[in-house]
Amino acid sequence: MATLSYRGGEMAFRGRVEVICGSMFSGKTDELIRRMKRAQFAHQKVEIFKPAIDTRYSEDDVVTHEGISIPSTPVENSASILLLGSNSDVIGIDEAQFFDDNLPVVCNQLADKGIRVIVAGLDVDYMGKPFGPMPNVCAIADEVQKVHAICVKCGCQAYISHRIVAGDKQVQLGDVNTYEPLCRLCYLKTKR
C-alpha cells in the first residue's frame, strides 16, 4: 500500500530512492546516518541494513571512519532487505556496492510501496570501474548526491579510492591503511 502524506494542500507520495555515492572518506555513511536520525526524530519507523561481509568496525552497527554509529541489520542479500524492511517508513542501505545485482529491483519495489530508501555506497572501485549494483541504483534513483573526499596528495576533490596495498580482487575491505582518496590527476600519476 502506498504511503501518502499531506503537504501544501495536496497528498504527496513518500516512496523514493535517494543515493549518496562517492569515494571512500567522502562522508557517505555520515550523510546516511544524518538522514536516518532526522527520520527517527520525526517519529518515522526506520530500518538500516548493511552487507553481512562488512565487519570492519562492527558486526552489527553501521559505523563511520570517525566512529559514529547507528544500529543496523546485517544481511546476506538484497532480498532480505525487502523481507525485513517492508513495514518501515524509511530504509537505509550502507555499503550498497557489496550487494547483489537485484538491489535496484528491491529499491524500486520498496519505493513503489511508499518507502523512502536511502542508499550509500561507492560508485566506482579502486580501478575507477563501476562497482556492483551502484550504477544501476543511481539510474533508478529519484535523487543522486555525489560527495567527495579530499585528495591526500594535492587537496583537490577526490575521484577514487586508491588501493595502497597489494591485491587485485575488486572487493577488499579496508580503511586508511588500505585505501587513500585521490583526485583524477594524482590517481593517473600512480599508474605511470
Point out the catalytic residue in the list 31, 47, 95, 180: 95
Task: State the Cα–Cα distance between residues 12 and 6, nearest whole angstrom.
Answer: 6
Would residue 95 show up in a list of annotated catalytic residues for this protein?
yes
How many angstroms separate the Cα of 173 from the Cα of each of 101, 115, 161, 190?
Answer: 19, 30, 12, 21
The 10 Å CB-count burial string (b at 16+, else e) for 172-184 is eeeeeebbbbbbe
Residue that the C-alpha cell 588500505 belongs to: 178
How many residues can be counted in the chain? 192
Q: Is 109 helix (H, G, I), strand (E, B) or coil?
A: helix
User: Cβ distance 173 to 52 under 8 Å?
Assistant: no
Residues annotated catalytic, as ranges = 95
